[in-house]
């Protein structure tokens, strides 16, 4: 039986950009150190929250290389490697292996989408050629495409396909997947507001946006679930729901970057077409930050 890439809290880490272009690597190093100190179990670099869609190929490669080197084994490193071009996803996956990443995160093809047969062919083609674990990524709100449980069952047969980051919010799909795939295909929550219910169905943890600014919360909540202490974990989930929801009041990662800047992290702005928050939503975010004890500087 294969082992999960990680258990507990994985942070979908933001990418700090310089005002005049490029990645702020010293700041990225500070953010990685912040996560390591908090006990985060994995760093996911160049994902949706990391604004991979507006990074050049050179920036993507440099970010993955830096993250692997700077993390230095303190946490697992999972490299975003998705594309709507199978060969491009293969290239990014091959680079992830070469860099020393522990696994890849590969989102479903977007815009051109695919049939379920196309999904099986897409992921199998990559997994046949890159011998490190792959985590599938299901986020139909962004891609317009979802796996079926039957497709998960077929892909779970491949030894290099470790599981899925599930951000569909479809608990019928998740339950059916668990029934069809059993314990040898792992599921991580891709939604911060659904960590506890998904882990109650056997999920192994979360790939989290909230963990960027409250890593201890996400670590504690996910580890309570791993220990079977769902009542205590649910209390943490519900107590922090207003703040969690405020990080998605506008398109991710706009609010999390705004929150981190308000808290003094100095992570820079999002890249266009993502832009600053509306004043109304910013006030909501500020209030909910203060309510959970985050100081605004």
- What is the predicted pLDDT for the residue at 223? 98
Domains (range + CATH), the chain: 8-239 (3.20.20.70)
**pTM of the predicted model as reported, rounded to 2 decimal places:** 0.96
User: Peptide bond before 108: cis, by omega within 30 degrees of 0?
Assistant: no
What pLDDT, on the 0 to 100 scale, is given for residue 123? 98
Cβ atoms within 10 Å, residue 158:
15
Supply the pLDDT for residue 297: 85
For the chain, which ranges sit under pLDDT 50? none
Task: Find out whether 135 and 103 touch, Cβ atoms under 8 Å.
Answer: yes
CA–centroid distance for 263 within its chain: 22
Q: How many whole angstroms separate alpha carbon 265 and alpha carbon 218?
A: 19
Quote the pLDDT of residue 22.
94
- The torsion angle over the Cα atoms of residues 283, 285, 286 and 292, rounded to 10 degrees, is 150
Task: State the catalytic residue, choosing from 27, 76, 152, 165.
Answer: 165
pLDDT at 14: 98
Catalytic residue among 123, 137, 152, 186: 137
Contact, 55 vs 14, CB < 8 A?
no
pLDDT (tens digit, 9 = 90+) per residue, 52-84?
Answer: 999 999 999 999 999 999 999 999 999 999 999
* DSSP notation for the chain: -PPPS--EEEEE----B-TTSSB-HHHHHHHHHHHHHHT--EEEESSTTTTGGGS-HHHHHHHHHHHHHHHTTSSEEEEE---SSHHHHHHHHHHHHHHT-SEEEEEPP-SS---HHHHHHHHHHHHTT--S-EEEEE-HHHHS----HHHHHHHTTSTTEEEEEE-S--HHHHHHHHHHHGGGSEEEE--GGGHHHHHHTT--EEEESGGGT-HHHHHHHHHHHHTT-HHHHHHHHHHTHHHHHHTTSSSTTHHHHHHHHHTT----PPPTTS-PPPHHHHHHHHHHHHHTTPPP-
Q: Is there a catalytic annotation at residue 137?
A: yes
Chain centroid offset of residue 204 CA = 13
pLDDT in the model for residue 108:
97
Give the per-residue pLDDT at 267: 97
Strand partners, 164: 136, 187
Residues listed for the chain: 297
């Amino acid at each position: 039986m294969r082992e999960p890439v990680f258990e507990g809290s994985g942070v979908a880490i933001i990418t700090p950009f310089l005002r005049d272009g490029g990645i702020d690597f010293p700041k990225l190093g500070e953010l990685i150190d912040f996560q390591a100190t908090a006990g985060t179990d994995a760093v996911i670099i160049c994902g949706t929250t990391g604004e991979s869609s507006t990074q050049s190929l050179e920036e993507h490669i440099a970010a993955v290389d830096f993250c692997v080197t700077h993390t230095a084994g303190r946490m697992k490193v999972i490299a975003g490697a998705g594309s709507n071009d199978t060969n491009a996803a293969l290239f990014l996956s091959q680079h992830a292996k070469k860099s020393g990443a522990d696994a890849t995160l590969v989102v479903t093809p977007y815009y051109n989408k695919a049939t379920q047969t196309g999904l099986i062919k897409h992921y199998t083609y990559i997994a046949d050629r890159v011998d490190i674990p792959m985590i599938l990524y299901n986020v139909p709100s962004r891609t317009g495409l979802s796996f079926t449980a039957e497709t998960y069952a077929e892909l779970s047969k491949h030894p290099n396909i470790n599981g899925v980051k599930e951000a569909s919010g479809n608990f019928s799909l998740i339950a059916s997947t668990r029934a069809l795939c059993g314990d040898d295909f792992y599921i991580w929550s891709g939604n911060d507001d659904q960590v506890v219910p998904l882990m109650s169905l056997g999920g192994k943890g979360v790939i989290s946006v909230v963990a960027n600014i409250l890593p201890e919360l996400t670590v504690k909540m996910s580890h309570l679930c791993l220990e079977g202490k769902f009542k205590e974990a649910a209390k943490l989930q519900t107590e922090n729901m207003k703040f969690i929801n405020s990080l998605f009041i506008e398109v991710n990662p706009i609010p999390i970057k705004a929150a981190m800047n308000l808290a003094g992290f100095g992570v820079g702005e999002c890249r266009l077409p993502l832009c600053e928050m509306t004043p109304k939503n910013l006030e909501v975010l500020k209030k909910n930050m203060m309510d959970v004890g985050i100081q605004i500087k």
